[in-house]
Amino acid sequence: MSKKGLKRLFGKKAIISLAVFIVVLTSSALTFYFTSDIYTLTRLGYSFNESVAISKTIDKSDLDLLKMAGYIDGFSTAISDPDFDATKLKDYIDYYTRYTSEDISFADAVAIINHDCASVEYQLAKRYINYYTQYQQDRLDFATAKVIIDANGDDIDYNTAQTILNNDNFISDKLVQYFDYHKKYSVLSIHNLITLVNKEITIIDQKEASILQALINENGFNWDNYNRYRAYMDNNPSFPIERVVSDINNNIDKPSAPPSYSGARPADLSKGNLILVNKQNYLDRNYVPTGLVNIEAAYGQLQVKSEVYTAYKAMADAAYQAGVPLYARSPYRSYATQASLYNNYVAQDGQAAADRYSARPGYSEHQTGLAIDITVGPSGTLGGFANSASYVWLMQNAHQYGFILRYPPGKENITGYMYEAWHWRYLGVDVATKVKNSGLTYDEYYARYIK
């Protein structure tokens, strides 16, 4: 159709109107597009279709906010983040806007919202994110990162934090203190610091921490005695830890309380003739010493270890020459013999009284084959021995044959037994002489020098 034809059909005015109409329509469409959310979103890097979808989920005011805050560039970076979730855009913006004065990055806002920390104040949330990011490759999960940071564990490496969190004695309420002790007292092992915190033991400085670490690690250390070790250390500042532990375990700090059977352990058989058997150190019910020999009638009765017998005969001969006879009345006793003896005493005097003068089975030095109860002769009594010339002679000479008085007067609090003038223990000349010269009971001497 020619122009003339059109003119003829609609007239000139109609054509002008149509042209105006098309121009108006096109420009409003363009205006609409360039002022819409969709345009803003496409500028932010979304495809047209994504922009249409997102524009339906957020307010125009939020997008305006984004533009006004001037972080369009930051936002573009954020949306390229694989964690960016368009459905949370409004929450990101809310959070970001709340903390713009604190130099928050949009990526931080994304991370914080993605970890459900919308209600967490930015500085704290940032610490979560930092810690989490630092140890993410070590399989740290976000919830654990929060636990660690909430307990001020920012500068505790995740490996250490994990060791603390996984300790058998870990108590969650005490995590702040565990971290605090770890930071302040690096000398403490994790296990020890957890125990110290759990027991509410206050440490004042690094020096004290070192002492405690050594104390806890000392062989024989027992938590039941903790307060006594500390008191003993205070009273004896020059004593090495080793001695503190052994002295307290031997109740040297308790003059009025005799040793009890509680906490007893197997006697150390490796010490040979220097073995310590007392209320804290026992022998197995099947233990029988090697080398038992019969005692000849002129010297006593029953059996004893052969080297003890040799020494005893020499001593008895010398005593006889000096006019003070000795008789080995009760040497080696088996576990079963001791059991019936002790049970008879308990039936007769009651357990508390029996425990002061008779050992429970397994706890008797007689089971070692190294001890002998001595009387003046076959008819002499144990009770009468203290007042005999034989006893006086033994007190002066027994060490020269390797024997010591095992339960001296006034030492019941240490030995666990009343004074027994008749009970002599073989240790060999060297140690017997040293024990005599030291003035110590064998329990003390052993703890200090043999153990």
User: What CA–CA distance (Å, rounded) separates 248 from 227?
Assistant: 10
Min. distance of Cβ 381 from Zn ion in angstroms? 13
User: Which amino acid is present at 129?
Assistant: I
The residue range among 90-98, 236-244, 372-380, 396-404 that interacts with Zn ion, by the rule CB under 5 A, is 372-380
Task: Assess 108 for contact with Zn ion (CB under 5 A).
Answer: no
Min. distance of Cβ 196 from Zn ion in angstroms? 43
Per-residue binding letters, 374-413, with Zn ion (x by CB under 5 A):
----------------------------------------
Pair 428, 401: CB distance under 8 Å: no
The residue range among 9-17, 47-55, 160-168, 423-431 that interacts with Zn ion, by the rule CB under 5 A, is 423-431
User: What CA–CA distance (Å, rounded) separates 53 from 413?
Assistant: 89
Residue nearest to Zn ion (CB): 423
Q: Which is nearer to Zn ion, 37 or 373 (CB)?
A: 373
Q: Which is nearer to Zn ion, 373 or 444 (CB)?
A: 373
User: What CA–CA distance (Å, rounded) separates 265 from 281?
Assistant: 5
Task: Assess 373 for contact with Zn ion (CB under 5 A).
Answer: yes
Pairing assessment for the beta strands 420-426 and 403-407 based on DSSP bridges: antiparallel
Q: Which is nearer to Zn ion, 182 or 411 (CB)?
A: 411
Min. distance of Cβ 371 from Zn ion in angstroms? 6
Token pair for residue 359? Answer: 């050992």
Min. distance of Cβ 357 from Zn ion in angstroms? 9
Task: Assess 425 for contact with Zn ion (CB under 5 A).
Answer: no
Min. distance of Cβ 287 from Zn ion in angstroms? 17
Q: Cα-flanking dihedrals φ and ψ of residue 388, to 5°?
A: -95, 160
Which residues on neighbouring strands pair with residue 300, listed in sequence order? 328
Min. distance of Cβ 238 from Zn ion in angstroms? 36
The residue range among 9-17, 319-327, 352-360, 417-425 that interacts with Zn ion, by the rule CB under 5 A, is 417-425
Rounded to the nearest 10 degrees, the angle between the axes of helix 175-184 and helix 206-217 is: 100
Pair 421, 391: CB distance under 8 Å: yes
Residue 420 parent element (H or E): strand 420-426
Rounded to the nearest 10 degrees, the angle between the axes of helix 206-217 and helix 190-198 is: 100
The residue range among 6-14, 23-31, 92-100, 419-427 that interacts with Zn ion, by the rule CB under 5 A, is 419-427
The residue range among 136-144, 190-198, 238-246, 367-375 that interacts with Zn ion, by the rule CB under 5 A, is 367-375
The residue range among 143-151, 190-198, 217-225, 369-377 that interacts with Zn ion, by the rule CB under 5 A, is 369-377
Q: Which is nearer to Zn ion, 131 or 385 (CB)?
A: 385
Per-residue binding letters, 237-256, with Zn ion (x by CB under 5 A):
--------------------
How many positions of this chain bind Zn ion (CB under 5 A)?
A: 2
Task: Assess 355 for contact with Zn ion (CB under 5 A).
Answer: no
Rounded to the nearest 10 degrees, the angle between the axes of helix 158-165 and helix 190-198 is: 50
Residue 106 parent element (H or E): helix 106-114
Contacts of 290 (CB under 8 A, 6+ apart): 305
Min. distance of Cβ 178 from Zn ion in angstroms? 52
Min. distance of Cβ 249 from Zn ion in angstroms? 24
3-state secondary structure 329-392: EECCCCHHHHHHHHHHHHHHHCHHHHHHHCCCCCCCHHHHCCEEEEECCCCCCCCCHHHCHHHH
Q: Which is nearer to Zn ion, 99 or 422 (CB)?
A: 422
Task: Assess 423 for contact with Zn ion (CB under 5 A).
Answer: yes
Residues interacting with Zn ion, by CB under 5 A?
Answer: 373, 423
